[in-house]
Chains A and B, each alone.
Chain A
Amino acid sequence: MENDFERPTREAAAEALNTLHADRERLANTVEAPRLLLVAFGALGAWWVAAAATTDPGSSYEPPTSGWIALAGGLAIAYLIRRETGIRFRVMGARAGWAVAGIVATCLALFSVSLGLVSSDLRWAVTLTSTTAFLITTWLAGVAYRSAIAELHRD
């Protein structure tokens, strides 16, 4: 029920809105990126790409089940990040969407390259694609997280 007696003045209303903005800034500035868990995303990507080295490309090729394990691992890391930071984001922003798509595309491409290397008897070179997957996935996970934090600043 409305009560005119309780209504704030113009200045008080403006100050209340400014306080809301300041609180959002404070929250965004205090939420720290959980670096170890972002690195865990990179390690997961690297492990999945490295799994190509255990396959036998050719007519008898059977895709490894590591994809499902990696998916479960990714969800587990996302859960741990929420517990670590104490915040579950409502929106993560378009940049985060592109970063996640980039992680999937990069890992798929590097997995394909790794299969090609294995079929060319260059199994050792999978170390290079796996390391690349680690670096790119870690970086893109950081981009996605920073995008989510940037969304906290928005009005």
Chain B
Amino acid sequence: MTEARFDETIHAPVRLRICGLLNKADRLDFAVLRDTLGISDATLSKHIKTLADSHYVTISKSSSAKRTDARRVTWLSLSPTGRSAFAAHVRALQDIADSRA
């Protein structure tokens, strides 16, 4: 069983939600993540950068058939470190939620 460990980087509400969605997929397109969370490109980029700087999220790019310009699809995924930290953080949240008032 995963050991509970509260992670301040992940706990910020938007970053927790980002990790929650990335944890369910192998990779997600930046646009899918943005639309699911209902936030702006800039906000998502800012939080992704924080998570990437912590080595929790990895970013890769690929060409897009839908686009006629040179822009590429940005794929995001949780690194093994990120998955482990997210699992430990969720465990910590569950412990807090299950604790007696």
Contact = CB atoms under 8 A, between A and B. Distances in A.
B29 A17 contact: no
Interface residues of A, number: 30
Interface of B: 5-6, 8, 11, 13, 16-17, 20-21, 24-29, 31-32, 35-37, 62, 64-65, 73, 75, 90, 93-94, 96-97, 99, 101
A8 B21 contact: no
A22 B25 CA distance: 15
A34 to B, nearest CB: 13
Given A3-B8, A7-B6, A20 B25 contact: no
Tell me whether chain B's interface is mostly helix, strand or loop, or mixed. helix
B64 A17 contact: no
14 contacts: A7-B6, A8-B11, A10-B101, A16-B16, A19-B13, A23-B17, A23-B37, A26-B36, A30-B32, A83-B64, A83-B73, A85-B32, A88-B28, A90-B24
B27 A20 contact: no
Tell me whether chain A's interface is mostly helix, strand or loop, or mixed. helix
A35 to B, nearest CB: 17
A128 B62 CA distance: 41
A154 B65 CA distance: 32
A98 interface: no
Contacts of B94: 13, 17
A36 interface: no
B93 A13 contact: yes
Given A3-B8, A86-B29, A23 B97 contact: no
A13 B25 contact: no
